[in-house]
Structure 1
Amino acid sequence: MFSTSAARRRRLVTLAGIAIAVVGLTGCVGTPKPSGSSSSPTASASVSPSPTPTPTGAPASPSPTPTAGTPAQAVTIGCNTLVSPQTMYDFNPNFGLDASFTPGGGTPTAKAVAAKGVACDWTNQTSGDKVTIAVARPGSAALAELKASAGAGTAVAGIGQSAFFSSSGGTGRLDVFTGTYWLVATSVFFGGAADFGSGADGRTLVAAAVAQLR
């Protein structure tokens, strides 16, 4: 009876060992992977940045600011350079330069001085009559206005770039425009546009002054 029990215990121990081995083997087996799966990790999808909208047209350029034109520039030429004593003598030997001359208010000569110009006056020693010549560089806008106003007179060819004669109250006036310069000559001795024609004394006097404007 003892031997039978012992044999039974050995069988039970053997069966228990087999059971433990089976359980151990079952724990070591990995979980089966689904068919077609990959062992490598799946890469995250990259997100492309949204493109910056392209403007349909370039912004309009600002309009240029209008300018007032060039300003007046000072004229520093002296009277004896503008019209030499010899030139005035040839015109009329009885005229002399008036060093104390002051332009009268509202005259074209005063306007030239106000525009940084110079005014020269020669007085007849016998009659007291005058020849006055003024020169200015009044700036582009003022020059255009002066030219437009003078253009109502009679055009005189061959003195400066353009010249116009007019008269008022017995006094003749010649406006000459050359480059940026405006020259105005007035005198009772200038009786008409013919005084500035070819070979006339008035033309010789004014043309000599214009020649200095450069």
Structure 2
Amino acid sequence: MNLEKPSPVQAPAGIARRRRLAAVGVALAGLLALSGCATTEPTPTPGASGSPSPSASPSTSPSASAEPGEAPAPPADEATPVGVTCQQLITPDDLYAYNPNLAHIDGEAPAAGTPGARAVAAKGVACVYRNLTSNETIVVSASTPGPTALTQARAELSASATPADGLGGEGWFGGGTATVIAGEHLVTVSSDIFTAPADAAQLTTTAVSHLP
């Protein structure tokens, strides 16, 4: 005997529709849960002024100043001590023979910038003599400044003074000063009262004769 399978009992239409709606609701709830787990990037907020602050540029420190170049070496000092004193350059007898009213003023230095001062700077001597009657002064100097200085002096004298004979060497006269280059020595005799080479010739020749 054949037994027929019982046909499934169908749920009423209202119940089936409610089940479908419930399934849709569960699916929507799952989607919402997944969307809640997603991470969202924060929206950048503008600065207090409403505009983004400019990025700070790296500061550059000023470069250190270059070391100044070394100064060129000064010319070699060719001057050597002249090797005489005032008492030897013009002795008391020499001074008396020239003018008995003159006296050596020991310790008095020649004025700055004068031939006598330049002689002292070149390791020479400068001797100041004063006329005890008129108070006029005469300065006699001698130095051994070296070949370079002598060449320069010769060039300057040739341009600014007048060549003069009878002074005891290669001589010039100008501005109250008689200048003589004799060998390695430079001799000057200066005074405001000198107007010609002959006024100083006796002193220049005497000084040159006493140089070593």
- Give aligned-pair identity as a percent: 33
TM-score in terms of structure 2 length: 0.60
Residue 112 of structure 2 is aligned to residue 105 of structure 1: yes
Aligned to 1:178: 182
Aligned to 2:40: none
The 1:81–1:106 alpha-carbon spacing in structure 2 relative to 1, beyond 3 Å, is: same
In 1: Cα distance, 2:202 partner to 2:139 partner: 15
User: Secondary structure of 1:135's match?
Assistant: strand
User: Secondary structure of 2:80's match?
Assistant: coil
Deviation at 1:188, TM superposition (A): 2.3
Aligned to 1:80: 87
User: Secondary structure of 1:116's match?
Assistant: coil
Aligned to 2:150: 143
Deviation at 1:182, TM superposition (A): 0.5
In 2: Cα distance, 1:205 partner to 1:139 partner: 23
* Matched positions, count: 137
In 1: Cα distance, 2:168 partner to 2:76 partner: 22
Could you tell me whether the CA contact under 8 Å between 2:119 and 2:143 is conserved in 1?
A: yes
Aligned to 1:211: 209
TM-score in terms of structure 1 length: 0.60
In 1: Cα distance, 2:99 partner to 2:169 partner: 26
Task: Give, as a single letter, the amino acid of the residue that structure 2 aligns with 1:163.
Answer: G
CA RMSD for the aligned pairs?
A: 1.7
Aligned to 2:134: 127
In 1: Cα distance, 2:188 partner to 2:84 partner: 15
Which sections of structure 1, spanning at least 5 residues, go unmatched?
Answer: 1-67, 197-201
Aligned to 1:160: 168
Task: Give, as a single letter, the amino acid of the residue that structure 2 aligns with 1:190.
Answer: F
User: Secondary structure of 2:138's match?
Assistant: strand
Deviation at 1:100, TM superposition (A): 1.9
Q: Deviations over 1:138-180 (max 9, x none)?
A: 111111111111123111123333000001xxxx101100111
Residue 93 of structure 2 is aligned to residue 93 of structure 1: no
